[in-house]
Structure 1
Amino acid sequence: MKKLMLLPVMLLAAGVFAQKKDNTPKTYDLIIGGYTTGTNKGISVFRFYTETGRTAYLTQVEGIDNPSYLCISKNNKFVYSVNEVGNDRKGSVTAFSFEPKVGTIAVINKQPTTGAGPCYISVDKAQKHVFVANYAGGSLSVLPVAKDGSLMPVVQTIQDEGHGPNKDRQEKPHVHTAVLSPDEKYLLYTDLGTDKLNFYRYKPGADQPLVAADPSSLSVVGGHGPRHIDFTPDKKYMYLITEMGGVIYVYDYDGPKSKQLEAISLVADGFKGAVGAADIHVSPDGKFLYATNRGDANEIVVFSINPDNGRLTFVERKSSMGKTPRNFVIDPTGGYLLVANQNSDDIYVYRINKQTGKLTLTNSKINFGNPSCLKFTAAE
């Protein structure tokens, strides 16, 4: 009798498990930003189907100057974009309302960044502040976020000083990225011009929320030019890609006290062309790392990650099928990688082998003018 009583309970548990599994999103919104110097007129939204890797156009918002980098609020209701214009102090950022179920996007407001050439933007999980890297101005800007998603004026600006050994590219500071640590205790930003990764403590309730950490920075080899960073899902390891050096620095992550474990080159042995390393991402399962190299290589480089020490092992290099693979994104299920080729006006979709990390080109492609940023958010 007791055995018979267990059967409904087991079936109920199995049903609950199946229900949870079925709730995993199968469709996502792919939001695309880029430069508006060619055929692109703003930001576009596509639907992405994880079971097939296919995409479908949904909508576009026009009249946005060079929305070259985007971020999405944690609640999926707002999108924020830089307006990367000018070498003077004309840079700005724009806030948008977003409806993920239908993919509609609309402008809320716009604010100046007080810095030139903003190229990167991020937002904290609580939606208190956005952080903007002003590349041409060599500064970092902090703007509060209102409850309605709109942006308020800049409350803090951090101006970097110094230069690097490359007189053509490092004549002054060039802040390139602004990323919160996984626990959001720190704001990390790279400075391509001074070869530093900088750390500031983040205090969201303060009038000026960023305070320099101690130590305040990590340095790379002179002339390498730090660009983007990413972390493993378990938060143990951090990876920093350098644009001019074409090198990935691997760190045992501990905030500003992080220890370098190794530095590994993206560049193939014997390669003599121009190097322009760009983007870097860890797969959702933490097993693989992907990076793009522009210049004359135009390729995606794949590494496996040693789970015991975070070190990298080369797997393969794959053509991006276009020119200048500036940015790429891995879908949240880890099944596909999409790469944006800025100077050939196209986005290609690759299937990821989850056992080997290797990429296989699919038949899915998006034609888009000067794409430079791809972001996913759940559509369900």
Structure 2
Amino acid sequence: MEGPPGPEERWARTWLTRVLEPGDETGGRWVREMGPVGVVRRLRDPDRPLPGAGARRWAGLCARAAAADPARDLAAAADAGARFVVPGDAEWPTQLDDLGDARPLGLWIRGRPGLRMWALRSVAVVGARACTEYGAHVSAALSAELAERGWVVVSGGAYGIDGAAHRGALGAGGATVAVLACGVDRPYPRGHARLIGRIAEQGLVVGELPPGDHPTPSRFVLRNRVIAALTRGTVVVEAARRSGSLATARAARRLGRFVMGVPGPVTSGLSTGVHQLLREEAVLVTDAAEIVELVGAMGELKEVPQGPLLPRDLLGPGARRVLDALPARGVVHVAEIAREAATTQDDAVARLYELRSLGHVERHGDGWQLTRHAVISARAGAGPP
């Protein structure tokens, strides 16, 4: 376990967020082997390229290094109400260490709660941007139910499933985290500026990139590994075969997290990616209780759905076998009842009188018949007698 970072290391990590791209495993290896301060020193000496950096890449890194200004970034973060958390801090979520050399250098965070504690009981809900009405409804409902059960909903702040997930959690008065592919002071997409503002007030807005930095297609994909690592499991609500949310699910699987999928119409192209996940290793889920049963603590099991308790449900096995031996219509003799119930005639007679006292059967001469009440009870849920 890493000790608390000193001021020089924190400064170096702040500086490096301007130089290295998120998920850069070569850069992560440099940081692991030399320490962030050592990497900064080498980047300030253009004549000493770091191992594995080609001439073109080294020139690009040095150009970025020359423009980096940690003091400016920390001041911009403070103006936006954000803080910079690094490995070794009390707030650092140690499950991010599972990413190895692709671990973030640090995280810029807006919001009052502590990320480490929130991440311990969190679930990612992700999916298509251009989702259907069904997908948006399911995403919001699942997230609201998770929030009501005390779980933190994590998503990417995007249009579609992500936005519905955040709104569902917020609407339930619950906790949600938006992991952005840009600076936390620059809400993206712009149409979600108000939503991301609400998340920062009620929850947390998190990102690897320094203030003011913009998103790119590759940064969206790399952001997904943080969502996967941060949470106990990932639920994909809707996704086409090439959806970026599938990258989150695959990252979760590589990290040993739970991967879940919500089925959709087989005629919908936006369900094909989810259905492919379900054909592989994902677990099918349809409500929050099923999600919590997977990711929660031992004993957080979903109750098995049951119908209403019927009078015949209270019968012992012997009496129920005799009751089941009577047809829905008509009178039948004891010998036939005993044969169908695989018992003796004496036992059948004793059971029949017990059943009569409970209102299940009535006697007609030498035969027996189900009462109208017993027939209705059987149709209501016990199956045909």
Give the greater-gyration-radius structure (CA).
Answer: 2
In proportion to residue count, which structure has more strand?
1
- Shorter chain as normaliser: what TM range? under 0.3
- TM-score scaled by length of structure 1: 0.22
- TM-score scaled by length of structure 2: 0.22
